[in-house]
Structure formats: structure tokens, C-alpha cells
Chain A
Amino acid sequence: MVSTQPNQSPKALIVLRNVSKRYRRGLETIDVLSQVNLDIDAGEFVAFMGPSGSGKTTLLNLIGGLDVPDNGSIIIAGEEITGFSDSMLTAWRARHVGFVFQLYNLIPVLTAYQNVELPLLLTRLNKKSRKKHVETALSIVGLNDRMHHYPRQLSGGQEQRVAIARAIVSDPTFLLCDEPTGDLDRASANDILDLLQRLVSDYKKTVLMVTHDPMAAGKANAILHLDKGKLNSVSKGLATS
């Protein structure tokens, strides 16, 4: 279930209460997010849509612990992260968040295998266990045969699949995808969206995705619309608007 009203879901994985975020540009103060409330249950595939500057990416960054709100609280899996220090947030991200970016953000000098292995270097897993995890993640995204290729030797769609493998390899609590199909052709975009759907349906992952593309958003279980820093509506899902 996805809801933009407070206290809607007692079992919610992701809970935002009265979250606000402002930026200062010179003397001007811009309210990027204003009093946002949100409940997302585990296993949801949620798309955030809205015009540029509506606060989609800021919301994703706050949920992903890359930024901190000026007001309000963010509770993920029962843990309030709002008061975390930078180093606590860093450690928390390693455990709970898998990131997928529009430009893939793979390390160009590392192979697909080494890129996917990166999050596991932050765990206590030994080399053998890491290898097993990496191979599993790459097989889920269908790139086992490309594990020793460098990003420059892969197509855009393949690069994004490696990025998704990197995001899921440490079995995070949820995935945050910022315009994951924004740099891909339609066919590759569809492959990526199908893969994300499969992660939700087959592997019970929770996926939050920012997109401008209505077709991409259409693959999600719920679509949240942001405008001028406010969550205005939920479409397609089960929740209220």
C-alpha cells in the first residue's frame, strides 16, 4: 500500500511525516518539499512523477539518506534516520539502500564483476561468498556472460543492468532508481523496467523510481505526483490522494 496521508499503514516500510526541505539561493529561499507525508509498504513499485524542479529527486535523496530534511521525520524499516550523522547515514545506506542512477554511474576502470562487488566490500563476506553473491546478482540481470567486460564494452542497457546488479547484490531493504531509463532507447528502457518489475514480483523487492516517462511510470504499482514540493496525488495504486 502507498499513501500520502499520515498514519495510513502501520506496517509501512517507508514513512515520511511532515518532511520539508528548503534550499537557499542567495537571499531567496526555495521550498523544495513542503510538509510531505508518505507511507510505502514493502514490496511496492512506486513511481514519482512531476515537472522539473518539483522535488522528485530531493525526495528520493532524503529517503535514500543522501540528504537530510529541514523538518519532519523519515522512518525506514522502523528506524528513524532523521537525526543520523553523516557517517551513520553512510553506514545505513550501505545496509539498506540500493541506488540506480540515470547515467549508470559505473566505475569505468573496473569490470562489471568488480563494479557489482563494490557494495560487498563493505560487508564481512569473504572473497568466495562475495563471488557467489556477484554471480547471483549478475545472473538475475542476465549478464553472467559479461562479468569480465568493462563498462565501455557494454551497451547502455547492459550498463544499467550491471548498475541494477550492483544495487541488489547486498540485498538492500529497498531500491532507489533516479530516472533509470532516462538515457536509454525504448527497447532497452523496456528491458530495464521489466527487470525492475521482476525484482518486485519475483524477489519481493521494494522499488522507488523517479521518472519523467509516463510509460515507465505505468510499469509501477503506484504513481505519486509531485508539484511545487507537494505530493498531490497517487494514481494507479491503492492509496488515497
Chain B
Amino acid sequence: MAIPIKYNLLSIKERWTSTLVAVLSIAGVVAVFIAVLAMAQGFRKTLVASGSPGNALVLRGGASSEMESAVTLEQVKIIGDAPGVARDDTGQPLISPEVVVIAAFPLRSTGTDANVQIRGVSEKALKVRTFVDIVDGKFFSPGLPELVVGINARDNYSGFDLGSTVSFGGRSWRVVGIMASNGSSFDSEMWCDAVVLNQTYKRPENIFQSVTVSLISPDQLEAFKNTLTSDPRLTVSAISERSYYEKQSIMVFTLIEILGFLIASVMGIGAMFGAINTMYSAVSARTREIATLRAIGFRGGTIVASFMLEAVIIAVCGGILGTIIILPIHGNMASTMNWQTFSHLSFAFMITPAIIFQGLGFAAGVGFLGGLFPAYRAARIPVATALRQL
């Protein structure tokens, strides 16, 4: 039978100073670990939220992002006539041919320039993306150099308050509206009329980079894709808008995760040595107790299990403390470069239950590895000698 867990808990309490050192070091590691995962999760959620499940994104065949794509006006018309495309009250297809450019503006926080994605859209953009709301001012007027600015872009960059005028592409633009898109990447963008943006950047007026299509229902996607690929007039491919943004998030998400694991692993090794030290000192201080338990008849394996359990308890306490310390960052805003669009993307840290479990699991792993050698040593104590130790 196992040694009562109370023995471990009370022993931990008895040696609270050395235990506290191990708990704090593991808490620090878990806090960093959770913070990085929360960052990756927030980034991913922001991008994924940009895609509506009922929307399809049409790009030039072979293009992996809007930046590489081109769709002609003739193709836009054919796409709009495809079966499965939702239509408004007047029978017009709910599609938004769009173009994107990158422009640099000074950040409020540092004054240094950072890239903003400016999206030229059609007047149907708000009907295609129903989760985007104008929270202040109005939508732009077609044909005019007017901007609707995402709330994060307004907060992060200087000079984008409602009513202000900004210059890019060799002309002045007036901020006429502020939009909010339920935490998606559009909050970090600025929208304007696609035709005006093409004119400003001296691009052909009948070329767009993508077409966002609102489908009658999400299950129309396959039929819609088949229609486009089988039409000899089109050289385009369609993808679910959500999948497109999911794919966009993978590179940075993976990068942040790998970096996070690397940082946490290096810190974890340090914390593990702290746990090893704590457990070795526990074994050393309790040599006679361990020998007594062995003499009474507790097996070496039971002693190992008891000390491993103790190490894991200490580590999980550290994990819980680290989680509590880092929990307030949930919802806090951060921004990073989206390497698919080369523009800054604002997102909120997102601590999910799964991340907390990962953090606690990481802590338990550190405790397990940290307790392994001291526990083995405890089980190998020469009983006869240790019984007489003062």
C-alpha cells in the first residue's frame, strides 16, 4: 500500500522555505509558457475570426494569398453569376471584389512606422461580412477617398481618429468611419473604395486581387468551387474564407509555439534543477525517516512513488501559482507582424482551459523529472546505516 499522501503534504509544509523556491521557479516558467501559448492562440483566433463560415474567397489559381493574386472584372462578373452565390434584395450577387496595399504609419506607442493593410472593398463589403459594424461615423462613399478604420488600427497608429485626414499613395484621405469586427484581423485594417485605391496606386481599374463571395449556405461551397474550376473562362480557385485565414495563421502560430516551447524548455530545465535541489534536500533531511519506512516494510518502489508524488505536488502548486499570476493578461492586446501580409496585426492574449492544462501538465512534467533522481536515491538508501543517522 502507498505511504499516506498526508505524509508528503505535511513534509512539504515542514520544509516550506526550500519548497517555496521550487514553487516560485516553476511558477515563473509556467507563467511564461502560458503567456506564449496565449499569444499564439490569440493570434490564431484573430485570423480565424476573419473568415465567415458561409463565405468563399476566390483567388487566382495557384495563389496562396491575396498579395499574389489577380482576378479580372470579367471574371468577377462570372463568379457573381455562379450558382450558390447569395443575393441581396435587389437580386445583385453578394460579392466583394477587393484589393490590398500596405502602407506605413507611425505607431502611437513608439513613433516608429509599421505597416497597415489597406483593403479596397466594394460597397457590399458590410453585407458580405455581416460581423463588421460601423461603430462610429459612416461607411465610405463610393468614388471618394474616404477611409473606414478598424478600432485596433485607430488605437495603435497616430492620426486615424474620426474626421482626421491622412496621406498615402500620393493623395489625402479622410477618416469617415470606425469599424469593429468582433476581434478579427479587420480591426487592424483600413477599408476604402477598391476602385479609388486602384486609381491611387495606378493599378488597372479592372483588376482585383480577391473576390469574397457570400454563399447561400456553407454547404454550397463544393458546388461553387466545382462550377468555377470547370468554367474554361476562369483561372481561379475558391476556398472557404475561414480556411484561408486559418492557413494564414499557421506559420506565425507555429513559429510562436515553437519559440514558446523553446523558451519554456530552457527555463524549465532551470526550474527542474530547482526541483531536483529541493527534493534532494528533502531526501537528505528525511534519510532516517525513509530508512524507518523501509525497515517497517515499505518497498523501494513505494518510496519512489511517494517522493515522485511529492515532487509533482510541489510542481503543480508552482503551475497553479504561475497560472494565477499570468491570468490577468487574458484579453490584453498585443500586435505582431503577419508574415503573410507583411502588416501588423493586433490581437488579444487568449488563455483557454486547454492552455491552462498544458501549463499544469508542463509543471507536472518538470516535477516528475525533477523528482526522479532524488526519489531513486531515497529508495536506494542503505537502511541499516541510515537508521542510526542522527
A interface residue numbers (CB < 8 A to B): 57-58, 61, 64, 66-67, 86-87, 90-91, 93-95, 97, 99, 101-103, 105, 107-110, 114, 118-119, 121-122, 166, 178
Measured between beta carbons, the chain B residues less than 8 angstroms from A90 are 294, 297-300
With A91-B297, A105-B387 known as contacts, the answer to whether A110 contacts B292 (CB < 8 A) is no
Known: A119-B297, A121-B1, A122-B298. A105 touches B7 (CB 8 A): no
Answer yes or no: B107 CB below 8 A from chain A CBs: no
Pair B388/A66 contact, Cβ less than 8 Å: no
Residues of chain A lying within 8 A (CB to CB) of residue B388: 57, 101-103, 178
Q: Is B136 positioned at the interface, with any CB of A under 8 Å from its CB? A: no
Task: Kindly list chain A residues whose C-beta atoms are within 8 Å of the C-beta of B383.
Answer: 66
Given contacts A108-B14, A109-B14, A121-B1, contact A87 B297 (CB under 8 A): no
B113 in contact (CB, < 8 A)? no
Kindly state the separation between the CA atoms of A87 and B304 in the bound complex, as whole angstroms. Answer: 14
List the 6 closest A-B pairs by CB distance, nearest first: A94-B297, A109-B10, A105-B292, A66-B384, A61-B384, A121-B1
Given contacts A103-B288, A109-B11, A94 and B384 within 8 Å (CB-CB):
no
Q: Any chain A CB within 8 A of the CB of B171? A: no
* Nearest CB in chain B: distance from A144 CB, A: 21
List 9 additional A-B contacts (Cβ < 8 Å) besides A94-B296, A109-B11.
Answer: A90-B297, A93-B297, A103-B390, A109-B7, A110-B6, A110-B10, A114-B4, A118-B293, A122-B1
Q: Is B262 an interface residue (CB 8 A)?
A: no
Interface residues of B in 364-390 (CB under 8 A from A): 383-384, 387-388, 390
Q: Which residues of A contact B292 (CB under 8 A)?
A: 99, 101, 105, 107
Which residues of A lie under 8 Å from residue B289 when comparing CB positions?
A: 105, 107-108
State how many angstroms separate the Cβ of B145 from the closest Cβ of chain A. 76
Q: CA of A91 to CA of B258 in the docked complex: distance in angstroms?
A: 49
Q: How far is the CA of A90 from the CA of B297 in the complex (A)?
A: 5
Which of B4, B300, B390 contacts A121 (CB under 8 A)? B4
Range for the number of chain B residues in contact with chain A: 20 to 34
B324 at the interface (CB under 8 A from A): no
B interface residues, Cβ below 8 angstroms from A: 1-4, 6-7, 10-11, 13-14, 288-289, 291-300, 383-384, 387-388, 390
14 intermolecular pairs with C-beta atoms under 8 Å apart: A90-B297, A90-B298, A91-B297, A93-B296, A99-B295, A101-B292, A103-B388, A107-B7, A108-B289, A110-B6, A110-B10, A119-B297, A121-B4, A122-B296
A108 to B292, CA, bound (A): 12
Question: Separation in Å of the A122 CB from the closest CB of chain B?
Answer: 5
User: Which of B4, B296, B299 is in CB contact (< 8 Å) with A87?
Assistant: B299
Closest to B389 in A: A103
**A99→B14 contact, CB < 8 A:** no
Residues of A within 8 A of B2 (CB): 121
Give the complex CA separation of A105 and B293 in angstroms. 9
CA–CA, A87 to B294, complex, Å? 10
Shortest CB distance B390–A (Å): 7
**A127 CA / B50 CA spacing, docked (Å):** 60
Complex Cα distance A114/B11, Å? 14
A99 to B387, CA, bound (A): 11
A86 with B300: CB separation less than 8 A:
yes
Who on chain A is nearest to B387 by CB? Answer: A101
**Chain A, Cβ-Cβ closest to B298:** A122
Whole-angstrom CA separation of A66 from B298 in the bound complex = 12
Complex-state Cα separation, A154 to B154, whole angstroms: 72
In the complex the two chains form, is A122's CB within 8 Å of B297's CB?
A: yes
Quick check: B295 and A66 within 8 Å, CB to CB? Answer: yes
Residue from the set B13, B288, B383 with the largest chain A CB neighbour count within 10 Å: B383
**A114 interface neighbour in B6, B288, B296, B298, Cβ under 8 Å:** B6
What residues of chain B lie closer than 8 Å to A61, measured between beta carbons? 384
C-alpha gap A99/B386 in the complex (Å):
14
Q: How far is it, in angstroms, between the C-alpha of A97 and the C-alpha of B295 when the chains are bound? A: 9
- Nearest-neighbour CB distance to chain B for A175, whole angstroms, equals 13
Contact A118–B296 (Cβ < 8 Å): yes
- How many Å from the CB of B288 to the closest CB on chain A? 6
Evaluate whether A110 and B296 lie within 8 angstroms (CB atoms) in the complex, with A66-B384, A105-B288, A105-B289 already known.
no
A94 vs chain B, min Cβ distance (A): 3
Q: How far is the CA of A67 from the CA of B387 in the complex (A)?
A: 12
Chain A's closest residue to B297 (CB) is A94
Q: Would you call B295 and A93 a contact (CB within 8 A)?
A: yes
Closest residue of chain A to B8, judged by CB?
A: A109
Chain A hits for B297, CB < 8 A? 90-91, 93-95, 119, 122
Closest A residue to B289 using CB positions: A107
Q: Which chain A residues border B293 with CB–CB below 8 Å?
A: 107, 118
Complex Cα distance, B302 from A94, in Å, reads 14
